[in-house]
Homo-oligomer: A and B are copies of this chain.
Amino acid sequence: MTTATEQAPDLYPTRTATPVATPRRDPVVWSPPGTSGPISANDLAGYDRDGFLTVDQLLSDEEVARYRRELERLVGDPEVRADDRSVVEPTSRQIRSIFEVHRLSEVFAELVTDPRVLGRARQILGSDVYVHQSRVNIKPGFGASGFYWHSDFETWHAEDGLPRMRTVSVSFALTENFTTNGSLMIMPGSHRTFVGCAGQTPADHYRDSLRRQELGTPAPEDLRTLTDQHGIRLLTGRAGAATVFDCNCMHGSGDNITPHPRSNVFLVFNSVENAPGEPFAAPGRRPGFVAARDFTPVG
């Protein structure tokens, strides 16, 4: 088991003058074949191939309604708005994200230990897991901006020190995802290549990057190559659906000019055997509400 004190070798160089692409050096599914869990063998093979899988109705309508009420409560709470963990949209001044939501809210905390969720995370990562990051994202429509293309692992490796690709995200849709309201786009199969990014990470970069990411996004020619190889999948579906995706999927989303708001809960599980040391390409650690330093296993 890797501990936080010894620094692992840098298998995935990034934030360099001339970025390079590195083939993935880690498994996608870490549990041995045949390990039991909520994901079927067929779905797990699809996850291994594409880097993601979707669960059409992970949450019931009642659960969705409950989580939406809780989200509204948080967004309307002046204390939450004033909290460092809330990220406010630069133009509209509306709350765009609230981090560490599983600690801020007992209601959202339940999702972390839910066997439908935790079971999938353990099955993919082949070990006990802890929450590296959690948040709710809100795109209110009428022009809310999207997220440019990125691999989450690129940032978590560079700025948080996650050594290996042994991390999985679960995004729960609290609203319907249409083709028109800035839904998630993923390049299936892109998780097999680590695309290094140009640039040097300034101190406290997270303050800007959570609002609008520029550093840590691939060059146009790399995006063109990935698109030619893998295509782009737009993930639509009803509220209550979940997307489970590998930390190194190239993904992004467009803006949302429709009146259909989009909101989701986002949980990131990391293997306890993949605890981060120091950042690989940043002058200092990000705060704990963005990148946890408490590696206590969930459940």
Assess A179 versus B182: contact at CB under 8 Å? Given A146-B255, A149-B257, A257-B149: no
Q: Which of B223, B254, B257, B260 contacts A180 (CB 8 A)?
A: B254
- Closest residue of chain B to A254 (Cβ to Cβ) is B254
B residues within 8 A CB of A143? 148
Q: With a CB–CB cut-off of 8 A, which chain B residues contact A256?
A: 254
Question: Quick check: B258 and A142 within 8 Å, CB to CB?
Answer: no
**Neighbouring B residues of A179 by C-beta, 8 Å:** 179, 234
Residues 258-273 (chain A) with a chain B CB within 8 angstroms: 258-260
Nearest CB on B from A90, distance (A): 15
A residues adjacent to B (C-beta < 8 A): 142-143, 145-146, 148-149, 178-180, 182, 185, 220, 223-224, 227, 232, 234, 252-260
Q: Is the CB of A259 within 8 A of B142?
A: no
Output the residue of A178, A179, A252 with the most chain B CB within 10 A.
Answer: A179
- Contact A259 B227, beta carbon cutoff 8 Å: yes
A255 cross-chain contacts in B, Cβ below 8 A = 145-146, 254-255
Question: Cβ of B180 and Cβ of A234 under 8 Å apart?
Answer: yes
Asked whether A232 and B258 contact (CB < 8 A) given A142-B220, A179-B179, A180-B185, the answer is yes
Contact indicator A148/B257 (Cβ below 8 Å): yes
Q: Check if B182 sits within 8 Å of A223, measured CB to CB.
A: no
Answer whether A260 and B182 are a contact pair too, CB < 8 Å, given A143-B148, A254-B254, A255-B255. Answer: no
Copies in the complex: 2
User: In the complex, A142→B214 CA distance in Å?
Assistant: 12
A252 and B257 form a contact (CB under 8 A): yes
Could you list some 28 contacts between A and B, CB below 8 A? Answer: A142-B220, A142-B223, A143-B148, A145-B255, A146-B255, A146-B257, A148-B257, A179-B179, A180-B185, A180-B232, A180-B234, A180-B254, A182-B254, A185-B257, A185-B258, A223-B259, A224-B259, A227-B258, A227-B259, A227-B260, A232-B258, A252-B257, A253-B257, A254-B254, A254-B255, A254-B256, A254-B257, A255-B255
Residues in B whose Cβ lies below 8 Å from that of A260? 227
When chains A and B are docked, how far (Å) is the Cα of A180 from the Cα of B254? 8
The minimal Cβ–Cβ distance linking A44 to chain B, given in whole angstroms, is 27
Residues of chain B with a CB closer than 8 A to A224's CB: 259
Query: Which residues from chain B contact A258 at a C-beta distance below 8 Å?
Result: 185, 227, 232
> In the assembled complex, which residues on chain B have CB atoms less than 8 Å from the CB atom of A259?
220, 223-224, 227
How many Å lie between the Cα of A281 and that of B260 in the bound state? 31
**Residues of B close to A252: CB separation below 8 A:** 257
Distance between A255 CB and nearest chain B CB, rounded to angstroms: 5
- Once bound together, how far apart are the Cα atoms of A260 and B175, in whole Å? 28
Chain B's closest residue to A142 (CB) is B220
